[in-house]
Amino acid sequence: MIVVVAVIAGILALWGGSASAAWQPTKPVEFNVPAGTGGGPDIMARFLSPLFEKNKATEQPWIVVNPSASA
């Protein structure tokens, strides 16, 4: 639970600042989730990914990736 709150706080901090508006990624953003598919962090990342795209956080899509070696 603390990890989820920390992730959301970090995202909001980046989203609201004027410095973050100056930089935009040029390739699709890979959202690396170092946990098993279907776990809590994976579900949260898959929930947040379309919200970033819907609210135009960046021009690029957000892709959730579960590296096989991390689980």
**pLDDT tens column, 27-50:** 998 989 888 888 898 899 999 989
For residue range 59-70, what is the model confidence (pLDDT) as tens digits? 889 899 988 755
* CA atoms of 1 and 41, how far apart (whole Å): 10
- Indicate the domain borders of the chain: 2-70
| Burial class, 33, CB count within 10 angstroms (exposed 0-12 / middle 13-18 / buried 19+) | buried
- Whether residue 34 contacts residue 67, with contact meaning beta carbons closer than 8 Å, is answered with yes
Supply the pLDDT for residue 47: 92
As a whole number, mean pLDDT of residues 11-23 equals: 63
Residues 6+ apart with CB under 8 A from 36: 42, 66, 71
Beta-bridge partner residues of 32: 65
